Structure 1
Amino acid sequence: MTIQTPPDPTAADMAQHLPHAIKRFLREADPQHKANAHDLLAAFATDATVVDDDGTTYTGHDEIHRWRAAESSEYTYTVEISHVEKFDDTRYVVTTHLEGDFPGGVVDVIYRFTLADDLIAHLQIAP
């Protein structure tokens, strides 16, 4: 007899319970969505920092806007949320699965969010 491990709650179900700022970022960062800078930046505190997977840090709305504009125009890809983890009311980790025309074609990306006043104060991205 084989005993199967019960499936984890689906990432999509878990993602529904994410704070609004994180859901907004994920929606606006998805290349299938017609993102605009105002909606994306509304998810971030004005002095927020983003540490990209290459180690570059972007601080404040102007730098974050330039980073996302460059990132979103470089490749075509699909995004699927594969895992969501809540550590406390201010710290979340979201893992996404990307497939597209970038080098390697497939990658899992980990987003580590820290919130303050219901906005993203810090985001660290790692492959």
Structure 2
Amino acid sequence: MQTNPSTSLKLLAPIASFFAHETTDPQAVARCFSEGAVVLDEGHEHQGRAAIAAWNAAVVAKYKFTTEPLTAETIGDRTTVTARVAGSFPSSPAQLRLQFTVTGDLITRLEIAP
């Protein structure tokens, strides 16, 4: 399991760190987020660093996936990354849209959608 961030994409530091650690270190992923941050994924909300670390560990164990960010667009405090995700889930590989809200040096919200 690994993430392959494209070297040609210019990602904000917390987003680049998220992709660098998303399949290997749930605690490092959680540190990319503010204390009260929210992740929305598969119809569930995960709030706070402990919940985000638990969410990340669970999805890595369940789907054994790799991620390749393909495009990134930043408008204001929101960055939308389109990524190719492959793993042990129906319709793999798939393109997902990850919409990050960044405040200062931390992610405050992440919404993951097809």
TM-score by length of 2: 0.87
Deviation string 1:22-61 (CA, Å, 9 cap, x unpaired) is: 00111111x3xxx223311110001100111x22111101
Aligned-partner SS, 2:90: coil
Structure 1 vs Structure 2 CA RMSD:
1.4
Aligned-partner SS, 2:8: helix
Which of 21, 26, 32 is residue 28 of structure 1 equivalent to? Answer: 21
TM-score by length of 1: 0.78
Alignment of 1:68 onto 2:61: no
Figure out how many residues of one structure are paired with residues of the other and give that number.
109
Structure with bigger RCO (C-alpha 8 Å, 6+ apart): 2
Identity in percent: 29
Structure 2 residues not aligned, in runs of 5+: 1-5
| 2:73 corresponds to | 85
Q: CA deviation at 1:66?
A: 1.2
Q: Which of the two has higher C-alpha Rg?
A: 1
| 1:115 corresponds to | 102
Q: CA deviation at 1:77?
A: 2.7
Check the 8 A contact 2:100/2:111 in 1, yes or no.
yes
Which of 13, 33, 37 is residue 8 of structure 2 equivalent to? Answer: 13
Q: How many angstroms apart in 2 are the aligned matches of 1:117 and 1:82?
A: 24
Structure 1 residues not aligned, in runs of 5+: 1-10
Which residue identity does 2:14 align to in structure 1? A
Alignment of 1:49 onto 2:10: no
